[in-house]
Structure 1
Amino acid sequence: MPRTVTESEIAPTRYAHHIRARALTVRRGRRVAVDGIELDLGTGVHGLLGPNGAGKTTLIRTLATVLTPHSGELELLGSARRSRVDLRELRRRLGYLPQEFGHYRRFTVREFVEYMAWLKEVPRRRTADAVQHAIDRVDLTGRADDRMGSLSGGMLRRAGIAQAIVNDPDILLLDEPTVGLDPAQRMEFRALLRDLGERSCVLVSTHLVEDVGAACAGVVLMDEGRTVFTGHVDRLRTAGTDADPGDSDIERGYSALLRRHRERRTGAGA
């Protein structure tokens, strides 16, 4: 059973880089899913883009300490140590929403978020307020006492976001968080991301390029396990031309960078 920690033990700390990776490699069986990538991510909202199979989910799970790197260096919140005590302390400071998250159908939304707060060792005297605040921020206030099994797909996703932010994390990792959200909810979610990025390092994996353009300052673009591009979203907007596929500047930039990367790898652009 997790012990109750004091507020001073989970007070936020400023880091030059919340996430720092050097030649990070992660294998899934015989396949290299993340292939020697470099990352330096600090406070703010960062979009993680790439086609299916690019390695985005593997990278997110590695940063969430679910998977162990095969080689390279990974520092989270200034520490590369991975003892059991280190991991426990680190996980108190992480928020993570996987593509598919488990939950007890008979739990109410409030009970589910309370349970996750307990697992993350949120101080007991702060738990009720932290849970209510997280539920309010994802616009589930009126459904807080409904059972998880009665929620729509979009509401379940919002409950998942609530559990990810209940501990006010220093690093927030979200894997396809807008799946099932309607357009109005997506706009509200973008505003929430911008607010969270004021003090946290937020990494959002998504297929929706326009969400990145609206909510993110930084972009990490992956393909075949490698980093294609890292930088400000404005650089992504200017990377393409009218000849590249896409309905917007940012989509054309995405297409252009992927094309150039693949040409370099195959020698087609030589």
Structure 2
Amino acid sequence: MTIGKNLGKEHRMTSAVSAADIAPTAYAWEIRATGLKVRVGRKRMAVDALDLSLGTGVHGLLGPNGAGKTTLIRTLATVLRPTEGSLELLGEAVGGMGEHRALRRRIGYLPQEFGYYKRFTVREFVEYMAWLKEVPKADIPAAVQRAVERVGLADRADERMKALSGGMVRRAGIAQAIVNDPAILLLDEPTAGLDPAQRLRLRELLQELGTDACVLVSTHLVEDVAAACTDVVLFAEGRLVFQGTVDELASAGGPGHVGDSPLERGYSALLQDPGQERGTW
């Protein structure tokens, strides 16, 4: 099933954007891919003939290792170019040689691994990323403060990045991804390194962000999808295996399938069903 179209999204952004950015939207979906193919290397098609439409909400991206999840997210972040097919983000066609500078101002992206200057404080790091995203200079201090507060790092904002734990660095990465109040937020394994309490807080934040943005979360943790996501996209060998609600995913499995919960059993059932695309474990 497809995901509900976005409605009534005028004035989604904060004052840290231009008037053009807060104009009424004229697109049906924040993310829309048709026949999308993305080649990695000379031969391997990491995303293969993908048809996908995503609107407002929190969408969980599940799949085994090597399924193509990271390649898909990097393509949606305009880091990689489509090889074939079409991709539209916020109504703008993506591909070719265009830099998509204005579009990138409205996207938040957290890769699995991200670079930073170790001598930067958390505040300096998020400020720098806000500057790269062309947040207006006058709006940067307030935008940074709000971002670090939302990830629970307000009391560590003036500590150097090199002094932080792995989980805190990850939270700083989430802060930079949301500092521009993005219309599309792409998070690749955001819970990596977070303790259970931090994961719970992140789930709450994702639900908050998903009320007026399109949030796509790649994760290996099925329980995170159950708690935070409005629907699930299951990906295997570069192809869409399933798209539907969390309840529909859970109902796809049965007692004979591998897993400790209905969601895990539904996940394994869809990957193991010979009528579906099979993933690599």
* 8 Å Cα contact 1:10/1:92 also seen in 2: no
Map of 2:84 onto structure 1? 71
Whole-Å separation in 1 of the counterparts to 2:210 and 2:159: 29
Unaligned residue ranges in structure 1 (runs of 5+) = none
Offset, 1:253: 0.6
Mark the CA change 1:122 to 1:218 in structure 2 (over 3 Å): closer, same or farther. Answer: same
Q: Could you say what secondary structure the match of 1:169 adopts?
A: coil
For the aligned residue pairs, the C-alpha RMSD in angstroms reads 1.6
Offset, 1:9: 3.3
Map of 2:39 onto structure 1? 27
| Deviation sequence 1:62-98 (CA, Å, 0-9, x none) | 0000001110010000111557776000000000000
Verify: 1:216 aligned to 2:229, yes or no: yes
Relative to the length of structure 1, the TM-score reads: 0.93
Q: State the identity %.
A: 66
1:61-210 aligned at under 5 Å gives the runs: 61-82=74-95, 87-210=100-223
Offset, 1:209: 0.6
Task: Choose the corresponding residue for 2:263, options 239, 250, 259.
Answer: 250
Task: Choose the corresponding residue for 2:246, options 233, 239, 242.
Answer: 233
* 8 Å Cα contact 1:12/1:170 also seen in 2: no
Verify: 1:46 aligned to 2:59, yes or no: yes
Whole-Å separation in 2 of the counterparts to 1:81 and 1:49: 24
- Equivalent AA in structure 2 for residue 23 of structure 1: G
Map of 1:10 onto structure 2? 21
- Equivalent AA in structure 2 for residue 237 of structure 1: A
Mark the CA change 1:6 to 1:17 in structure 2 (over 3 Å): closer, same or farther. Answer: closer
Structure with a larger share of its residues in helix: 1
| Deviation sequence 1:197-250 (CA, Å, 0-9, x none) | 001000000000110010001111011111100111111011100111111111
Whole-Å separation in 1 of the counterparts to 2:243 and 2:17: 37
- Equivalent AA in structure 1 for residue 35 of structure 2: A
Offset, 1:10: 2.9
Offset, 1:35: 0.7
Whole-Å separation in 2 of the counterparts to 1:130 and 1:184: 25
Mark the CA change 1:107 to 1:84 in structure 2 (over 3 Å): closer, same or farther. Answer: farther
* 8 Å Cα contact 2:241/2:277 also seen in 1: no
Mark the CA change 1:165 to 1:264 in structure 2 (over 3 Å): closer, same or farther. Answer: closer
* 8 Å Cα contact 2:87/2:94 also seen in 1: no
Mark the CA change 1:12 to 1:53 in structure 2 (over 3 Å): closer, same or farther. Answer: farther
| Deviation sequence 1:86-134 (CA, Å, 0-9, x none) | 6000000000000000000000000000000000011122111100000
* 8 Å Cα contact 2:271/2:277 also seen in 1: no
Whole-Å separation in 2 of the counterparts to 1:251 and 1:100: 26
* 8 Å Cα contact 1:20/1:39 also seen in 2: yes
- Equivalent AA in structure 2 for residue 57 of structure 1: T
Mark the CA change 1:182 to 1:79 in structure 2 (over 3 Å): closer, same or farther. Answer: same
* 8 Å Cα contact 1:45/1:217 also seen in 2: yes
| Deviation sequence 1:28-61 (CA, Å, 0-9, x none) | 0111111111110000000000000000000000
Mark the CA change 1:100 to 1:9 in structure 2 (over 3 Å): closer, same or farther. Answer: same
Offset, 1:182: 0.3
